[in-house]
Chains A and B, each alone.
Chain A
């Protein structure tokens, strides 16, 4: 333990100060809001159940041929998660932010030691420890295996945490810059896509001869710290003492190297500018240099319509929350019908899923502006202004969603080889897109809610959750009901065997959808114009 500060007073050690600081921050964070406490407690409950299940699963796996593969790969996966986590969830831990420590007279070595111990406090590290313990339990046999396991379990858990901190410290420049914060906002998307990939991989694994196909991966990961520590337990249990020792030493060496790397980054960070300074100083002069509206603007109509469309379309690429919403809608709208079609369980009507997902992008238009909405509110004084504003937003959205809906429907028809049903399905999809766009315009005006920009996980400000869900669910139900006449007509034509008339659903659906958009805009415009201050208040919360 390091004794710093004055010799007169018995100062507490730096490590215990940091651990207590961490606990206080945790406690105060929970005291701040009941919702946070509830979330934290449910995380603990969920985590405990999860950990118990994992340990049980590992224990049950003892003795099975694939136990070593699973134990090593799971540990490797956990380490990978720790390594990438700080890139997506930055500054979750205030005690570890070097910018808060620069003013204090601290020496690097005791500081890093204290920080490392403090980072072990929390749900994540404890869960990791349990997980690694389970992994070790599943492969440890005999006295040698047990002895190595006693060393390996804490070693690999600490290595995971050190890895995470070292990566975070090395990337502070990225994480404190605007680009890093944008990256963090996209994390939900990365996690969703990653889960799809894992899901897909697991399905492939099930088909391709089971867990034996993991052997080569195990051979490699078993030498990579911290999974190498679990590999050491496995090797020791199998009698390969030299291999076990080598793997254990490798992990210990990796831990030392990580801590050294972390310490060097910390020292550097305390005297160098962070990303925010660099971002402000550098001139990002790579943007479209043309006057005013730019290249995109020249394609669009003039006046308010063009300006609003231009802004909406630019925001799809530039604003992380908008981008995430669009990419999610576009991806899921494509994945659901096409995956179902590939698996042979699909129907061409699944293509309507795409128009439903994309139509939801019209919901809460003003919430997407945030408190920047005042600029819009300042220029709307009549119903006609509000109509022009909403119509331009709908046009910007339809400029992408309309062709995309047609594309998804056509691709689904192609995979199913069901071209004869393309017109009716497309007609339904267009009607649904119109219904969602129309109801979206109305709910944007009547039920606006704020989308906090500071967190990637909050899409609704506290107290507005019910409003958000209510407007989306209500809008979806009404959107579906509005399409009922067309669905009825489709069913009727099928049942009454008038297949030659089914193509009519395409022009009728397109026209009906267009009318629904117009009706929605007409309904929404006066409500927007009359409620500007209320909308501004609602979208500026949080």
Chain B
């Protein structure tokens, strides 16, 4: 509470609306994520969790509302009272401040695990390849895959692939890590190894926003839990508040089904 220098990684979402065709998925979402905190977003399928996450790093453009990282608007540059839409080049540079982990991993299948991790820091951040490679090996070791550096993604299990994807996101040294249902595409026995890596990261003080269905993980690792339903944030609070003493009927109904 008495931070001297403000830590990076504060995410603010203000009144975000998003439609796909005639169907509005997000009806004005407000959310503040404190730097270094772990926020878990829960909610039934189709509640807009993933769309919200993808709006935060501008993978989806929003129809109305704003997202800001450390006070800097995502997707726009402010000049006085005028907002200029960012060109793709600037947008890509801004995105490097977010790490994104996909449900279906989306590793580049024609590149080795190491090349997957090295690619973006070199080509997007213009860093020295040799330096990045050394770091990438450390990152792969950190997710328990030091010996898989030269394997191609299809030679790895789903859990291993997702851990490479996490290392790839970390290599950008992002201020915020976004996880979009990181364990939903995994066999049950592989879920644990990925959650362990994420929980481990949670202790390092990177801001994390995790969309998941793993209630146990939410209880153990989250600082805050946000419950979404039908494109709105229904309630939020600490894990005890939301999971053990839910206030809203829809939260209670959801928890009754999954717990």
| Pairing of A with B | no
